[in-house]
Amino acid sequence: MTSTTAPLTGAPPRVNTPLRLAGGVAHLAFMGLYGTAVFTIIGSLLVFGVAGLPFLGVGAILLVGMVYALYAAAFLETARVEGLYEFGLPMLKARRSPKRGFVGFLHTIWVQFTDGAMWRAIAHLAIATVLGWITFGIAMLLVSSVATAFAPLYAPEGVAEIWEFRFDLTYAPLVGIIVSVLALAALVGLAMLHGALARVLIAPIREAQLAAQARDAVTQRQGAIRASDVERTRIERDLHDGVQPRLVSVGMTLGLAQTKIDSDPDTAKQLVAEAHTSTKAAITELRQLARGIHASVLDDRGLDAALSALASRSHIPVALDVRMEQRAGRDAEAALYFAIAESLTNAAKHSRATDCRVTVRSRPEQGILWARVEDNGVGGARVLAGGGLDGIQNRITALGGSSRLDSPAGGPTSLEVSVPCAS
């Protein structure tokens, strides 16, 4: 599985090559009719939506439809310009609110309506529609002038005509050629203007995406650094508070047994047995620590098996629902595994929950691996610097993913994470 958005690199190509100029003329000739139809639909939705607001919200439905019609028109306009000029534009994506419920739906409509990229594409569509009608008229003039140039071959009378301008048939070839050249030049000029407007109005979407990618790269780098710091601190804490004191105790116990092995063999045997028990406990702690660094079962049997083993060790009953069409890549699976593991650990320590549900889905059409962890605990979870939830966010951010925590007082607590899949 791969991400649907390719990296943006390189400079935009030339827009004034002969092939693209010819394509621009053809596009503009079509845009007059197409753009008129689009704006007729959008205008009708606006007028009837405003007029219908007092009637049980029917107008509101039409206005929401207008917003989505604007987005659809902007999406198609961006795709049309990209298909013609190959700027390397990513397709427009509908903006979504981070809020949930009906308030989130209303906020989603608002952020989509105020999307600058969408309005730039709509402005380009409006200008292209006007230029389209001009292009259509000049194209008709070109056809008429070419026909006029050959008028002496078929005209029965001594007068030629281009639109409503009449002149002697003797001058028809000269006038026809001159008007044809001027009309052709005007068409080329309109096509060049169309390309220039595309650079001004549509191409900035590409620059905005490049800037967003640069910001995302910085954010991912910072997340990776913070995640490594948090992980190192956790390992140091676990070693210092757990394994290290136990190993020191084993060493002291064995030293004491050594001093008593001749004078008091029975006590020495008891001390050796105690050291042996402590050593096994230290080995168990080291295995758990190593599992926290990397779960080898992920490589051997995949995410489903690793999460099943994780759920079986949980102190809280876990309902596990994993549906994956194929492996999603080592980094993506590892990030999701550790996010779920840390969530279950936090739930066991702090939430007082009696059950927990883990849902994992692969979404190849979006190029992401998604998971949701929800418990029925008391809620109130917060992201604290250096804490487990902070480590989850940093690890997910480092891979270019996203996470969302919802934990109102009184519960329940849910954590959603999504990470890009590797190919």
Q: Quote the pTM value.
A: 0.54
Helix H, strand E, coil C: the string for the chain is CCCCCCCCCCCCCCCCCHHHHHHHHHHHHHHHHHHHHHHHHHHHHHHHHHHCCCCCCHHHHHHHHHHHHHHHHHHHHHHHHHHHHCCCCCCCCCCCCCCCHHHHHHHHHHHHHCCHHHHHHHHHHHHHHHHHHHHHHHHHHHHHHHHHHCHHHHCCCCEEEECCEEEEHHHHHHHHHHHHHHHHHHHHHHHHHHHHHHHHHHHHHHHHHHHHHHHHHHHHHHHHHHHHHHHHHHHHHHHHHHHHHHHHHHHHHHHHHHHHCCCCHHHHHHHHHHHHHHHHHHHHHHHHHHHHHCCHHHHHHCHHHHHHHHHHHCCCCEEEEEECCCCCCHHHHHHHHHHHHHHHHHHHHHHCCCCEEEEEEEECCCCEEEEEEEECCCCCCCCCCCCHHHHHHHHHHHCCCEEEEECCCCCCEEEEEEEECCC
Domain ranges across the chain: 18-220, 227-293, 297-420
The tens digit of pLDDT for each residue in 325-345 reads 777 777 778 778 888 888 887
Which of the listed CATH numbers 1.10.3470, 2.40.160, 1.20.5, 3.30.70 matches domain 227-293? 1.20.5
Of 29 and 94, more confident? 29
The tens digit of pLDDT for each residue in 256-291 reads 777 877 777 778 778 777 777 777 766 766 665 555
Most confident of 182-186, 290-294, 338-342: 182-186
Q: Is pLDDT of 151 > 70?
A: yes
Specify the CATH superfamily of domain 297-420. Answer: Histidine kinase-like ATPase, C-terminal domain (3.30.565.10)
